[in-house]
Amino acid sequence: MAPIRKLPRRLEATAWWRWLLLALALALTGCGRNPGEVVVYTSRDQLYAEPVLKAFERETGIRVQAVYDTGATKTVGLTNRLLAEKDHPQADVFWNSEVARTIVLKRAGVLAPYSSPQAKDIPQAYKDPQGYWTGFGARARVILYNTAMVS
């Protein structure tokens, strides 16, 4: 697969977005609402998610209907929406960056298991043992403090 030139260089250098594209394509098979369309709920900022979703549309011909969360609520808003829609799901894919909320969704029976062949090289430590989620990106949250001012 040739790199997509319109993606930021940082994305071209990694393969994570290709895994996401495959996950989107396979999620479509369970959709049933509108053939040729996939609904993606994402807490990623539109600035970063949109190039990936547009690349998916170009490569597959499948239309993406993206639902972004607000900056104030991020993953929490979409998690609550998914919980509310549990009996009548609207999303095919949930792309987020919050492990704790993903576990809440799993425990509530909102998620379906899926093991992507594209994720075979991702270490098991970054995957749910039952296949409900796969981590493909990480970020650190760090607290720094001045030990001279805080004991």
71: left (phi over 0), alpha (psi -120 to 50) or beta: alpha
Confidence of residue 86 (pLDDT cuts 50, 70, 90): very high
Residue 43 lies in a domain: yes
Q: Which domain holds residue 78?
A: 9-126
**The domain spanning residue 70 has which CATH number?**
3.40.190.10
pLDDT in tens, 33-63: 677 888 999 988 899 889 989 988 888 888 9
Residue 52 lies in a domain: yes
Residue 133 lies in a domain: no
pLDDT in tens, 93-145: 898 888 888 999 999 999 999 888 888 888 999 889 999 988 887 777 788 88
State the pLDDT at residue 25. Answer: 59
Residue 62 to residue 147: CA distance in whole angstroms: 54
Residue 3 lies in a domain: no
Confidence of residue 64 (pLDDT cuts 50, 70, 90): very high
Residue 140 lies in a domain: no
State the pLDDT at residue 9. Answer: 45
State the pLDDT at residue 110. Answer: 94
Helices then strands, counting H and E runs in the chain, come out as 5, 3
Residue 138 lies in a domain: no
State the pLDDT at residue 84. Answer: 96
Distances in Å between the Cα of 131 and the Cα atoms of 27, 96, 100, 114, 127 are 14, 16, 16, 5, 7
What's the total number of domains in the chain? Answer: 1
Number of residues in the chain: 151
The more confidently predicted of residues 28 and 151 is 151
